[in-house]
Chains A and B, each alone.
Chain A
Amino acid sequence: MGFADHLKSGEFLRIVENQPPKGVDLEKFLGYAEAVRGRVDAILVPELQTSVMRLSSLSASKVLLDKGFEAIHHTPCGHKNRIALQSELLGAFVLGLDTVWITRGDSPNIGDNPDAKEVFDLGENELLAAAKHLQEGYDLAGNDLDGAPSFTIGASFNAGATGRDLELEVLGVEKKIRLGTDYFITSPIFDIDQFAEIMAKVQPFKVPVIATVMILKSIGMARYINKHIDGVMVPDAIISRMMKEPDKEKASIEITASLIRSLQTLCQGVCIQPIGWEAKVPHVLDACGF
């Protein structure tokens, strides 16, 4: 059963994010994948997340595919122009990676090669349009293709949008659906009530939404998120729950699992973002009863 079938099935999907290595040693990367084999529906392989230079999503996704995993290839816009991005999508398809996730991507200046030239030739919507064109048999400039690919296309939205931002975000979701989005993977969610608010507006579009759940490793991490990451807010209740628990690791796993359980009635799946705690993902799955 491929990812497209999973989406259609309406079942609650379990995705885990697995960062490619910064280098060519695949041992840990494959180890983390093996640890969740059969327990997740797909592995999302981020491309140059936070603009940190590492192995490409394309290569790492192909490695996973060859080992029998369902991989989601990630194509952000920040570091390649429209020629390279379209070529990358064609490349993904011929390698068998027909589930892709398209996002805006990050500026190089937040990463580990901050002097790099920023590209952003296309934004998320324009790249979605390019993917649509490719599937219709021509490129963004209208040139015919010799064989058209076929994808299951994902996009993202900011689940932390509130007030006026919320209206704008919902408009954006609608636009992305018009551009061919088959599923969404959201920004990280800690506040279930707030997520319910945006889901009430997004649900009527009937496009599957997969909520990202970041494993909160410490109180310090929660405070960092609240201070520096726009659109993501860790509620005080979660911070105090973590403060009260002497075993922080246990608290972290329980918080993640309880978020996932709450999300089961709100959306069509979760994408667990381990942020360095990949080894803890099986414990989270245990705690969820998956």
Chain B
Amino acid sequence: MIIAEQKPMEEILEMLAPYKKILLAGCGACVTVCQAGGEKEVGVLASQIRLARKDAGNPIEVLEMTMTRQCEPEFMEEAEDAMKEVDAVLSIACGIGVQLMAKTFFDKPALPGLNTTFLGFPEEHGVFTERCAACGNCVLHLTGGICPIARCSKSLLNGPCGGSQDGKCEISPDVECAWQLIYDRLKALGQLENLENIIPPKKWITSRDGGPRKIVREDLRI
């Protein structure tokens, strides 16, 4: 899922400075699971904003809403009525949600309340780690189900780099060496022969390097 975290309060308040009435829009999908932009966070953040603005002598009205999913056009109508009343929307969905709000409600500013951080999962309660770089050319079948692009600091396709110590990455003892993990997993699977093959240089054109990406599925088009 998409992992995000809330922006610092000062930054949010600075963004909201010109507005007197806003919609604070959460999302019921990924950011609810990573506890950055769900119903609970909408309630807490709305109170914090109201209090801060009241203390500053510049009160603000904050409407609260948690949409089913902010990344799908079909759910945009949930916000239609509220958007008519407000000066702007502070979205605490991922960047996709913010942009769909901006596209749908073209005449109202859509402000990001979160920093969209990475694609990953909760490692343990309150700990989220990156797992996928959405590079558009998956090699997980060759690397024991561990992504060298997202998890190796150097995104090496033929690691290790020689900089790891005790299975930890040279950039930090808190970061596991992806190639150690790949080795351990391939060994457990009896697939160590995978490491004998040299993976050719990556086709980065399928990643963001080829420009903004788009998929057209003719079989799904109406």
Contact = CB atoms under 8 A, between A and B. Distances in A.
Interface of A: 107-109, 114-118
A32 to B, nearest CB: 32
Give the interface centre of A107, A108, A118 by most chain B CB atoms within 10 Å.
A118
A255 to B, nearest CB: 34
B203 interface: yes
25 contacts: A107-B209, A107-B211, A108-B204, A108-B205, A108-B209, A109-B205, A109-B209, A109-B210, A109-B211, A114-B205, A114-B210, A115-B201, A115-B202, A115-B203, A115-B204, A115-B205, A116-B204, A116-B209, A117-B202, A117-B204, A117-B207, A117-B209, A118-B204, A118-B208, A118-B209
Contacts of A108: 204-205, 209
A68 B173 CA distance: 53
Interface string B187-204: 000000000000001111
Given A108-B209, A115-B204, A117-B202, 17 more contacts: A108-B204, A108-B205, A109-B205, A109-B209, A109-B210, A109-B211, A114-B205, A114-B210, A115-B201, A115-B203, A115-B205, A116-B204, A116-B209, A117-B204, A117-B207, A118-B204, A118-B209
A26 B209 CA distance: 32
Contacts of B210: 109, 114
A254 B110 CA distance: 55
A114 B210 CA distance: 8
B39 to A, nearest CB: 39
A117 B133 CA distance: 14
A109 B209 CA distance: 8
A37 to B, nearest CB: 40
A108 B205 CA distance: 9
Contacts of B211: 107, 109
Contacts of A117: 202, 204, 207, 209
A115 B204 CA distance: 5
Give the interface centre of B207, B208, B210 by most chain A CB atoms within 10 Å.
B210
Interface string B202-220: 1111011111000000000
A139 to B, nearest CB: 21
Contacts of B204: 108, 115-118
A150 B67 CA distance: 57
Contacts of B207: 117
Contacts of B203: 115
A170 B8 CA distance: 36
A95 to B, nearest CB: 29
A114 B206 CA distance: 10
Contacts of B201: 115
A118 B207 CA distance: 10
Contacts of A107: 209, 211
